[in-house]
Amino acid sequence: MKEHAETTMPALSRRAFVGTAAVTAGAVAATSLVGCGSTGGKKTDKQEEAAADPYEGAQIFYSTCPPECQHHNLKAYVIDGKIAKVESSELNDCAACARGIARGFMTKDPDRLTKPLLRTGDKGSGEFKEIEWSEAFDLIQEKFQDAIDTDGVHSICYVTGSGNFGAMHGPIASAFFAHLGGASTTVGSLCCAGTSAAEVPIYGQRFLDTRNQIEKSNYVIAWGNNPAISKQGYFQRFEKMMENGGKFVVIDPICTESAAKASEWIQPWPGTDAALALAMIKIVIDEDLFDKEFTLAHTCAPCLVDKTTGEPVLQDKDDPTSFVVFDTKSNEIVRHDKEGIEAALKLDGTSAAEQYNTEFELIYAEAEKWDSAAAEAECGVPAADIERIAREYAQADKAMIIQNMGGFMRTENGTNAVGTQLYLAALCGHVGHEGDGISDAGGVNEVKTGSPIEVPKVEDPAPSIPRFKFGEAILNENPLKVNVLYSMTGNPMTQWPNTNMVKKALEKIPFVITADQYLTSTALYSDLVLPVTGVFETEGVLANHRSHWIQLCEKAVDGPGESKSDFEIFSELATRFGFGDAFSKPMDEMISNVLEPTGVTLDELKEKHAVCVVDDNYIPFKDGEFKTKSKKAEFWVAAWKKDGFNPIATYARAEEDARNGDELAQKYPLFSVQRKTYRSVHSTFNNLEWMNEVCDQAPVILINTADAEARGIKDGDKVVVFNDRGEHHGIAEVGERIKQGVVGLQNGWWEQQGGSSSYVTNDKWKTLGGTHCCNQTLIEVKKEA
Ligand SMILES: Nc1nc2c(c(=O)[nH]1)N[C@H]1C(S)=C(S)[C@@H](COP(=O)(O)OP(=O)(O)OC[C@H]3O[C@@H](n4cnc5c(=O)[nH]c(N)nc54)[C@H](O)[C@@H]3O)O[C@H]1N2
Ligand SMILES: Nc1nc2c(c(=O)[nH]1)N[C@H]1C(S)=C(S)[C@@H](COP(=O)(O)OP(=O)(O)OC[C@H]3O[C@@H](n4cnc5c(=O)[nH]c(N)nc54)[C@H](O)[C@@H]3O)O[C@H]1N2
Ligand code: SF4
Ligand SMILES: [Mo]
């Protein structure tokens, strides 16, 4: 596997590395493709003259860094057919991070896969032999065909992850497996199910981020997320906001890189954010600090819900926008959007009170349970702080809640937490204007894109396998039996919860195929590993809502050895399975298909490399116009009720909580939370030697001084975190950076590096909205024996 090794990249000293990458975990300075009109990064003529350019004459190529991150635009300098340098392209306002720059190194990394590998030892042993592609394709064809013949096409399961948001990856896989007749796949988002389940019904759409407004805000709450690391590309906007006199509050059990720079750090117990938000709602309503005008004009707060049916009342049952309100002028029930009315937020004393509630009253009934004393007890945040931040937020001229795709969503109450924050923002009128809003860093989804090739309709769709219970599903063959698994762009063995169960599943499935650039943790448990090409080795387009740009992915060099792109792999398989010319489209045509609905042409993209599709001053839900059918924020959620949950966002203590006093809490009395690191995007990049220069080289386990002392653990000790699900090993960092009673675990470490923190994470299914509960995990820690 290593014979092609030719690492021309100079070994970087720590200092040189930091200089090149422009950022370190602690000193965050970079920005991303966010301000579309940027000219940053250009040298003056004098500087150009002073330094002889070692890259003069190099061929230049542009591409993007495509994992679930910020999609920086990258520029490669090719000399003698090799990438001599990758830098952040001039289209970004500032440098891409060290991981993005590592894309150059990755084209020459001796650890890259170069040929298909067939397992020769036990799964997990790492024993493989190299085989030819023809043999690999024969095997895949044979295994797919056997599976179809014995148990039907549903017994082929394919899973994708967040490794590449380019259009020639996930969409192509969907098209291939649809052509095959409809293979099965998994259901459940590891990431941000909470936003989808709350923001889509309540505000009408998600993926509308406020990143372009941060600098203009006066008050920003980063609620359960760490933009200094996870959104470092525009963290400088938060700093600018503070320089302008604004306040930055971070709500997180860990004093993160963001909290360290913030005006204030609030430390709640994990998973209690919905109670905290409800307590804030109670204060702003009790003290009349909410924005009554906005609430009446732009939300369904006054809309009536029938006490008997528990459903919102519609004037016309066939018109889902025909909500009614009680008009205090006429004392009549009228349509919510009738001109000249004065809708009641509270019905007491009116003739409607007996039969109806308003949505506002239902929200208040939830909030009332969380007065600041009750919230202090539940959330572990002093009542005075809760009251103060509620008042400050409501009274700020321009106030913003940053949700990103935060850690608080990956809890049992994640959807409720998002929902209550959406209520709070709408009631305070902090949506739809300059400097305010709720930021779902999922990006901006205003521009629709097309599919590179047609995805046929599947006549007989397979039942979905719950991703969080993958192990149980496979072992019990429920809802179906899986004979072949095809995994690409993801790393289940490090990212899916309860790794031991995932491992058992991979061991049981007769034929597991992983397509990746490296021998990942999942590849290690596979029968066949396919080497795929990477950034600057693959043509394509990235036109995804995660960033504000559509970017062309140019191929600068061949991939190492015999690596093939995902598209080439499916294209060959399509030929073998006789799908006609469905997969033999020229790349330009496929890219044009993706671009078609956007209005951007391929010629334009070739000329400019990347095109920004979002206005510099973009404001989501501008002027309070929500994307729901009624154009108002609809607080009562039918889908939640249908699934057996409260239709109004609520809070109840989670099943896995250290205060429950049950057997589990006695055995494992510490909460644990996950955090992303500078070293990786999930497991991607974590294996790179390149990252050792500036990052932790082993998993760090953050533990509070008192908790460490109680267990005889000292800073720097080797420790093991454990529960009934498994163990995660690392090095203790002892101090006050973390709330007492909570332990901080890092995301993304490989099996080959000692194993992922997912060995202990909660695999609960199904919560409201189907949230991933990795941050709702109880553990114990001990010194390594
Ligand atoms: N460098 C880097 N950047 C990334 C990624 C990466 O892996 N590495 N991943 C990308 C992706 S896919 C995502 S989803 C985003 C995620 O971005 P973030 O949400 O910012 O990332 P996390 O580190 O998961 O979580 C942030 C914080 O949530 C806190 N937290 C955990 N549980 C709770 C809770 O119940 N309540 C509160 N208030 N806080 C809690 C944790 O202590 C942690 O500090 O980042 C994106 N950007
Ligand atoms: N313990 C724990 N678990 C978590 C989280 C956590 O914080 N802690 N966070 C959760 C979140 S928010 C998310 S989004 C998920 C992410 O989980 P995953 O989507 O599984 O993310 P990665 O681990 O980055 O896996 C991406 C893989 O795709 C590969 N890849 C990159 N480009 C290509 C390509 O072009 N083709 C192919 N075939 N492969 C490619 C990469 O090499 C890498 O192995 O993890 C979730 N799981
Ligand atoms: S890893 Fe993320 S922040 Fe770094 S260059 Fe890539 S997209 Fe940008
Ligand atoms: Mo994510």
Say what the pLDDT of residue 663 is. 98
Question: What confidence score (pLDDT) does residue 46 get?
Answer: 55
Supply the angle between the helices 14-21 and 98-106 in degrees, to the nearest 10: 110
Euclidean distance between CA atoms 291 and 469, whole angstroms: 43
Cβ of 533 closer than 6 Å to ligand 2, yes or no, is no
Cβ–ligand 3 distance for 97 under 6 Å, the answer yes
Q: Both 273 and 417 in a single domain?
A: yes
**Last residue in a domain, options 424, 440, 456:** 440
Q: How far, in Å, is the centroid of ligand 2 from the Cα of 163?
A: 5
Q: Is 103 in the pocket of ligand 3 (CB under 6 A)?
A: no
Residues 224 and 348 in one domain: yes
Residue 329 burial (CB count, 10 A): 10
Domain membership of residue 692 (yes or no) is: yes
Q: Is the pLDDT of residue 15 over 60?
A: no
Q: Give the number of other CB atoms < 10 A from CB of residue 397.
A: 13
Token pair for residue 633? 């924020």
Our answer on whether the CB atom of 70 is closer than 6 Å to any ligand 3 atom is: yes
Together in a domain, 288 and 404: yes
Could you give the count of Cα atoms lying within 13 Å of 592 in the half-sphere of its Cβ? Answer: 8
Q: Is the CB of 405 under 6 A from ligand 1?
A: yes
Distance CA 201, CA 641 (A): 12
Chain center to CA of 231: 11
Q: Give all strands (DSSP E) within 613-717, no chain letters.
A: 670-675, 700-704
Compute the half-sphere exposure of residue 411: CA atoms within 13 Å on the CB side of its CA: 31
CA of residue 227 to ligand 3 center, whole Å: 13
- Phi and psi of 697, rounded to 5°? -105, 0
Kindly give the distance from the C-alpha atom of residue 492 to the centroid of ligand 1, in angstroms, as a whole number: 18
The answer to whether 227 and 258 have CB atoms below 8 angstroms apart is: yes
- Tens of pLDDT, residue by residue over 322-380, are 999 999 999 999 999 999 999 999 999 999 999 999 999 999 999 999 999 999 999 99
Task: Tell me: cis bond preceding 479? Omega within 30 of 0 counts.
Answer: yes
Mean pLDDT over 483-499 rounds to 98
On the question of pLDDT at 734 being above 80, the answer is yes
pLDDT tens, residue by residue, 307-327: 999 999 999 999 999 999 999
Residue 95 lies in a domain: yes
Residue 547: the pLDDT is 83
Between CA 643 and CA 621 the distance in angstroms is 28
CATH code for the domain in which residue 740 is found: 2.40.40.20
Residue whose token pair is 């830098």? 87
Whether 77 maps to a domain, the answer reads yes
Token pair for 359: 């949505």
Ligand 1 and 675: CB distance under 6 A: yes
pLDDT of residue 447: 84
Where does residue 109 rank: exposed (0-12), middle (13-18), buried (19+ CB within 10 A)?
A: buried
pLDDT for residue 25 = 35
Tell me the CA–centroid distance for residue 187 and ligand 4, in Å. Answer: 15
Mean predicted confidence (pLDDT) in 394-414: 97
Q: φ and ψ at 90, to 5 degrees? A: -65, -10
**Ligand 2 centroid, distance to 67 Cα (angstroms):** 8
Tokens matching residue 13: 């000293």
State mean pLDDT over 636-664: 98
Q: Please identify, by atom number, the ligand 3 atom nearest to the C-alpha of residue 233.
A: 3
Q: Which of 505, 478, 479 is nearest to 492 (CA)?
A: 505
Residue closest via CA to ligand 2's atom 23 equals: 683
User: Tens digits of per-residue pLDDT, 286-300?
Assistant: 999 999 999 999 999
Contact, 487 vs 470, CB < 8 A?
Answer: no
DSSP letter for 191, please: S
- 241 and 353, same domain (yes or no): yes
- Rounded-to-integer distance, Cα 540 and Cα 136, Å: 25
Strands 73-79 and 59-64: antiparallel
Q: Which whole-number Å values give the CA distances from 360 to 316, 613, 663, in the listed order?
A: 22, 37, 39
Does the CB atom of residue 189 touch ligand 2 within 6 A? no
Q: Considering the domain boundaries, does residue 357 fall inside one?
A: yes
CATH classification at residue 422: 3.40.228.10
Are 741 and 707 in contact by the 8 Å Cβ rule? The answer is yes
**99 Cβ closer than 6 Å to some ligand 2 atom:** no
Averaged pLDDT score across all residues of the chain = 93
Same domain, 99 and 213: no
Is 545 inside any structural domain? no
For 703-714, the pLDDT digits (tens) are 999 999 999 999
Which residues, at least 6 apart from 581, have a Cβ–Cβ distance to it below 8 Å?
Answer: none
One domain for residues 98 and 222: no
* Pocket of ligand 1 contains residue 681 by CB under 6 Å: yes
Helical (H) or strand (E) element with 399: strand 399-402
| Ligand 2 neighbour 520 (Cβ under 6 A) | yes
Question: For ligand 1, is residue 271 a contact (CB within 6 Å)?
Answer: yes
Q: Confidence band (pLDDT; 50, 70, 90) for 49? A: low
- Band (pLDDT 50/70/90 cuts) for residue 12 is very low
Q: Where does a domain end: 76, 106, 136? A: 106
- Residue with CA at minimum distance from ligand 3 atom 8: 72
- Average pLDDT of 504-515? 98
The per-residue pLDDT for 7 is: 36
Mean pLDDT of 431-454: 91
Q: Domain check: are 93 and 219 in the same one?
A: no
DSSP 615: -
On whether the CB atoms of residues 252 and 281 are closer than 8 A, the answer is: no
Paired sense of beta strands 528-531 and 117-119, if any? antiparallel
Residue 250 domain-assigned?
yes
Above 70 in pLDDT, residue 235?
A: yes
**Atom 6 of ligand 3, residue of closest alpha carbon:** 100
Task: Give the per-residue pLDDT at 35.
Answer: 44
| Domain span at 306 | 209-440
Is 432 domain-assigned?
yes
% of residues, the chain, pLDDT over 90:
89
Query: Using alpha carbons only, how large is the chain's radius of gyration in Å?
Result: 27
pLDDT at residue 142, as a whole number? 98
Atom of ligand 2 nearest to the CA of 538: 35
Q: CA-CA distance, 351 to 348, in Å (whole number)? A: 8
CA dist., res. 160 & res. 487, Å (int): 6
Residue 624: phi and psi, rounded to 5, are 80, 15
- 215 & 85 share domain: no
> What confidence tier does 45 reach under pLDDT thresholds 50, 70, 90?
low
Which residue of 71, 160, 489 sits with most ligand 2 atoms within 8 Å of its CB, as the best mutation to test the pocket?
A: 489
Residue 404 CB–ligand 2 contact under 6 Å: no
Widest pairwise Cα distance in the chain: 84
Using the atom order of ligand 2, give the atom closest to the CA of residue 494. Answer: 23
Q: For residue range 393-403, what is the model confidence (pLDDT) as tens digits?
A: 999 999 999 99
What's the rounded mean pLDDT across residues 740-768? 98
Q: Give 733's pLDDT tier (boundaries 50, 70, 90).
A: very high
In angstroms, the CA 313 to CA 335 distance is: 10
In sequence order, what are the residues at sequence separation of 6 or more whose Cβ sits closer than 8 angstroms to the Cβ of residue 767? 412, 413, 414, 415, 773
User: Cα–chain-centroid distance for residue 723?
Assistant: 26
Pairwise CA distance, residues 175 & 456, whole Å:
7
| Residue 3 pLDDT | 38
Given a cut of 90, whether residue 4 has pLDDT beyond it is no
Name the token pair of 245.
């006199």
Last residue in a domain, options 55, 83, 106 = 106
**Same domain, residue pair 90 and 237:** no
Is pLDDT above 80 for 451?
Answer: yes
204 close to ligand 3 (CB < 6 Angstrom): no
Distance 681 CA to ligand 2 centre (A): 7
Contacts of 142 (CB under 8 A, 6+ apart): none
Residue type, 106: M
Q: What secondary structure letter does DSSP report for 754?
A: T
Dist CA 463 CA 154 (whole Å): 8
What is the arithmetic mean of pLDDT over 756-782?
98
Q: How many domains does the chain contain in total? A: 3
Split at pLDDT 50, 70, 90, the class of 48 is: low
CA of 468 to the centre of ligand 2 (A): 15
Q: How far is the CA of 606 from the centre of ligand 4 (A)?
A: 30
pLDDT at residue 51 tops 80: no
Distance CA 512, CA 522 (A): 9
CA–CA distance, 352 with 349 (Å, rounded to integer): 8
Same domain assignment for residues 372 and 248: yes
| 433 vs 38: which has the higher pLDDT | 433
The verdict on residue 732 lying in a domain is yes
Which amino acid is present at 62? Y
Measured CA distances, 478 to 155, 466, 482, 594 (Å): 11, 10, 9, 36
pLDDT in tens, 557-611: 999 999 999 999 999 999 999 999 999 999 999 999 999 999 999 999 999 999 9
Could you count the other beta carbons within 10 Å of the beta carbon of residue 24? 17
Instruction: Give the separation between CA 534 and CA 531, rounded to whole angstroms.
Output: 10
